[in-house]
Chains A and B, each alone.
Chain A
Amino acid sequence: GAVVSQHPSWVICKSGTSVKIECRSLDFQATTMFWYRQFPKQSLMLMATSNEGSKATYEQGVEKDKFLINHASLTLSTLTVTSAHPEDSSFYICSGQGGGFLANEQFFGPGTRLTVL
């Protein structure tokens, strides 16, 4: 199957700082990438959808100025959590979807655990 990587896998930061998370599709071109957030014992909640070269589409309730998404190439998308606060602590997971796959098939990264002190 297709491989998606995320970096870093775990990050701890102080409240008020910004954190950047990278999502890379290693062996396919991801025309669309998704960012999810998962709280403990909860399901994945879609935060935003991004298409290469376009602005991301954010889900209702997700602050686009706080969660900056850049999808500059077909293999890289970044999520920057700006002015992070403890309530932003969560497990952030990206996924990629590319042409040639079965419709709706997404390949997920291993996730990034963010802890804001």
Chain B
Amino acid sequence: QKEVEQDPGPLSVPEGAIVSLNCTYSNSAFQYFMWYRQYSRKGPELLMYTYSSGNKEDGRFTAQVDKSSKYISLFIRDSQPSDSATYLCAMAGAGSYQLTFGKGTKLSVIP
């Protein structure tokens, strides 16, 4: 079992839809949870950063962490064509700077 599992998609939604992206993980030592957005042939860009369990909201984006289920989510409200990208979840343990990435989910928002 891989440490981080993420459905690679692709996922296509109409403009304005609510998008739900998810990752599961097996390492209970993970304490830091990140979501990155990566456009084609570009480096990842940090979208959301969460420590431990809970929710975090930033504009149209909401990140949720459920450590009891080892499950994290990213919700995108009122999705836009510019949100079309690959979304990577990443995690790290306390005191560690090394990130473990999911495979990424490719999202297409259709106008």
Contacts and interface: CB of A to CB of B under 8 A. Distances in A.
A81 B8 CA distance: 29
B45 interface: yes
A44 B49 CA distance: 18
Contacts, number: 57
A62 to B, nearest CB: 14
Contacts of B76: none
Contact of A111 (B43, B101, B103, B104): B43
Interface in A74-112: 91, 93, 95, 97, 102-111
Contacts of B41: 91, 111, 113
A32 interface: yes
Contacts of B98: 34, 46, 49
Interface residues of A, number: 26
If over half of B's interface residues share one DSSP class (helix, strand or loop), that class is named, otherwise mixed; here it is loop
Interface residues of B, number: 23
Interface in B16-42: 32, 34, 36, 41-42
Q: Which of B8, B34, B36, B46 has the most CB of A within 10 A?
A: B46
Interface of B: 6, 8, 32, 34, 36, 41-46, 49, 51, 88, 92, 96-99, 101-104
Given A44-B101, A103-B32, 12 more contacts: A1-B46, A4-B43, A34-B99, A43-B6, A43-B102, A46-B98, A91-B41, A105-B46, A106-B46, A107-B46, A108-B45, A110-B43
13 contacts: A1-B46, A6-B43, A43-B88, A43-B101, A93-B44, A95-B43, A102-B49, A106-B99, A107-B46, A108-B43, A108-B45, A110-B43, A113-B41
